Chain A
């Protein structure tokens, strides 16, 4: 029976593992074996209760990078993996991010040819297109009220 989990549970990220801890609060009123009231401090302990599907991890990953259908046309995503990925597979990104990837690949080609200046140019272009994609998704609604006496 987990309760107040936002206050009593903590995690620590270490390598490829997630360490979970529960807060065990100390008691200021429970007397010890000799009847003394000594304040016990709070401590972190390992989880002492089982919760089905109790841990939820929300994360980013490279999710289905290649699909069969054009993501600009079709909403279904049939993932293409391993050796099935060929030149006819679609990149699972919208148009703007696909253009950003073009700049990324151009930058990598320039880097391989030892042309660092051109590589820097294309990497700047890559981040610019990623930023443009973000700004395209912003929808700002501005409402201006008209004063009553501004009629001419």
Chain B
């Protein structure tokens, strides 16, 4: 369905506003259900500083489906790791 067809069905002439609402609608659909999954891989580095264990999340992320780590001892399989229920008591590790 084109944007023009959608605008005619919804009886509106404001293209930019309609495009913004379409993006909102798609984000709402995606936040409720997994319609399409994206994958990003990053290198893990040896932590030498207090925040070296922190990795930025991908741009445009709505929700995390799973986090995995490469198991090099088990035929290079990515295995899903668990999420901590609460933050560790150490807020910054100055000597990791």
- Interface of A toward B, CB cutoff 8 Å: 1-6, 9-14, 16-21, 44-63, 65-66, 85-91, 93, 95, 97-102, 104-106, 108-109, 126, 130, 134
- Interface of B toward A, CB cutoff 8 Å: 1-4, 6-7, 9-12, 15, 18-19, 21-47, 52-74, 78-84, 87-88, 90, 93, 96
Q: CB-nearest residue of chain A relative to B87?
A: A12
A-B pairs under 8 A by CB, number: 246
Distance of A44 Cα from B15 Cα, bound (Å): 52
Residues of B within 8 A of A3 (CB): 71-74
| Cross-chain contact A53 with B61 (CB below 8 angstroms) | no
Partner of B25, one of A12, A88, A105: A105
If A13-B83, A46-B53, A85-B19 touch, does A59 touch B37 (CB 8 Å cutoff)? Answer: yes
Partner of A49, one of B46, B63, B71: B46
Partner of A10, one of B4, B7, B81: B81
A121 smallest CB distance to B (angstroms)? 14
Given contacts A60-B34, A60-B35, 15 further A-B contacts (CB under 8 A): A5-B69, A6-B82, A12-B83, A13-B64, A14-B87, A20-B53, A47-B44, A48-B47, A53-B43, A54-B42, A56-B70, A59-B58, A60-B63, A87-B7, A101-B22
